[in-house]
Structure 1
């Protein structure tokens, strides 16, 4: 197992380098630049050029990239072009709220999806199965921003029982119940999409396993259907689900970008939108690098988790 992990980590280095090169080129190909976004229209061209020179924007693209890469090797992610804060400090402040939101949404989504998917598979082609399948398509199809705005209108504007946005009420930053109230709506928005996806995955995976010969043998021996499903079928059916969960974790940030913006949640999703709007190259590069690292780590974590779920899988 240890040699396998070391090999995977060594392979991750050139992959991350390739990702940073592609991201750097795409980000710099976007029209506009940070200086043009934050200057008065009457500012002289000489001052604009001076500011671009100070930020290194007049250098060739390859020079800018190697300058950024050199700072990265030293552990320096640079400074934001819009706020002039260290990028590492900005990410550390935002990463906690994002992981808190996405982790809770993933847990809630799985708690909803697993039992519904199991029941839908066991009761195949029943009215309950059709209802669960139809509801899952609804969860996948409804846009996050539309659902979020709808929930805000119902629970924050009309009923006034939940806050419309933010992470806490001013003056109640240490109140755990206040934070929970602010979490409810954004977690519901993300969890609906997650549950909609995983109901179908669990159902399809379990149906495939339920048709195996060894389960027919278990039924022939007189085992109860609940024991067959929960003890024998579900464990094998979870193997492809683990793959999907592991690969889904980094891409939860994609949904969090919209959800955080709708609910003004101070996480990395909101920071991403702000960085794009302000052409904040150092912050965007750091966010892309972090996302790429999370994808690679999620793949490695999924492979390791396989060996615990199925002892037959060995890595050398």
Structure 2
């Protein structure tokens, strides 16, 4: 009895304590690998953000646009040279781009994003007013596109070669080759102009305050356009991954054991197939941001796209740098999180920064 008691206690501890159980060990290993990945990505992100901000200032300074035209508007042609020089000094347009970059980082490190010369308000206020529109639209479209692509790609992948598979694959390939602004213009022509079912632009009627009903009504067409621009590459990737997984030895062995249908898809196909889709989400985030900017411009959606374009034309360094660097940070965070999710699902892939 005395010899069996330690063994029994150890066995009970091993099965009762999740930390010491095999599942607890796998969880700790996942956490370790995920933390290591995120730590490496954070270290890499710091110089990346610095270089991106430096490149933004350098490229903006080399832009062929005349910033005075944006600041003076219709008075640009009639303005005298002394008036133009005064505007240059007032808006710091006469300073070197490298000095402007150093000055911007100096303010940023103190928590000050600067002053937007074209909006005549703090950059933080510009972002606070417009970010909810951009973030809400992009997040809703991304989640919807991901759900449709995963479900649709899994279904047609498990029924490859059929009529539905060929039709959906061909439609997705054609849609992937269509620029987002073309999709947006078609939606405007059909549903806004011809049918009059939805508003053509903005997020409210002229003169009306923002309301939830008005925002949702105006958001329908840009939401559809942005979602349609993201579905093809996600769906085709998911479909290809499901086809590869369905033809693997592991799945054939599962079929031989009598496993099929939803149990086969959930237990043997999806865990492997979802990894390429997660990785693609991280690498294609810049296209999501670019697509959102195009869609917002076409539909006049009051997001950050208009502010980004205006700041680039007018060389509003403070606003331009904040928006561009913020976009880069979102891409880096999204890429790191998608890779971390993939590592959590399958630590054997050994992903690193």
So what's the TM-score if we normalise by structure 1?
A: 0.91
Relative to 1, partners in 2 of residues 1:185 and 1:17: Cα closer, same or farther, differing over 3 Å?
same
Once the two structures are TM-superposed, the CA of residue 215 in structure 1 deviates from its matched residue by 1.0
286-295 or 114-123: bigger deviation: 114-123
Relative to 1, partners in 2 of residues 1:34 and 1:172: Cα closer, same or farther, differing over 3 Å?
closer
Does 1:14 find its partner at 2:47? yes
1:115 is paired with a residue whose SS is helix
Aligned mates of 2:82, 2:238 — CA distance in 1: 62
RMSD between superposed Cα atoms in Å:
2.1
From 70, 84, 87, give the equivalent of 1:48.
84
CA contact (8 A) 2:311 2:317 kept: yes
The answer for the alignment partner of 1:159 in structure 2 is 195
2:284 is paired with a residue whose SS is helix
CA contact (8 A) 1:253 1:269 kept: no
87-96 or 144-153: bigger deviation: 144-153
127-136 or 147-156: bigger deviation: 147-156
From 198, 206, 209, give the equivalent of 2:245.
209
1:308 is paired with a residue whose SS is helix
Q: Deviations over 1:60-82 (max 9, x none)?
A: 33222211221121122211121
The answer for the alignment partner of 1:70 in structure 2 is 106
1:19 is paired with a residue whose SS is helix
The answer for the alignment partner of 1:142 in structure 2 is 178
Does 1:288 find its partner at 2:321? no
Aligned mates of 1:54, 1:162 — CA distance in 2: 43
Aligned mates of 1:145, 1:3 — CA distance in 2: 40
The answer for the alignment partner of 1:173 in structure 2 is 210
Does 1:219 find its partner at 2:255? yes
Note the residue ranges of structure 1 that are not aligned, 5 or more in a row: none
CA contact (8 A) 2:123 2:319 kept: yes
Aligned mates of 2:202, 2:91 — CA distance in 1: 33
CA contact (8 A) 1:257 1:273 kept: no
The answer for the alignment partner of 1:60 in structure 2 is 96
Note the residue ranges of structure 2 that are not aligned, 5 or more in a row: 1-31
2:103 is paired with a residue whose SS is helix
CA contact (8 A) 2:296 2:305 kept: yes
Relative to 1, partners in 2 of residues 1:149 and 1:3: Cα closer, same or farther, differing over 3 Å?
closer
CA contact (8 A) 2:150 2:238 kept: yes
Does 1:310 find its partner at 2:346? yes
Does 1:129 find its partner at 2:165? yes
From 26, 45, 60, give the equivalent of 2:59.
26
Does 1:245 find its partner at 2:281? yes
The answer for the alignment partner of 2:228 in structure 1 is 192
Matched residue pairs, number? 315
Aligned mates of 2:193, 2:95 — CA distance in 1: 51
Does 1:96 find its partner at 2:132? yes
Greater gyration radius = 2
Once the two structures are TM-superposed, the CA of residue 4 in structure 1 deviates from its matched residue by 4.7
Q: Deviations over 1:75-117 (max 9, x none)?
A: 2221112122111211121111011111111122223222221
Relative to 1, partners in 2 of residues 1:3 and 1:137: Cα closer, same or farther, differing over 3 Å?
closer
Relative to 1, partners in 2 of residues 1:36 and 1:164: Cα closer, same or farther, differing over 3 Å?
closer
Aligned mates of 2:143, 2:36 — CA distance in 1: 32
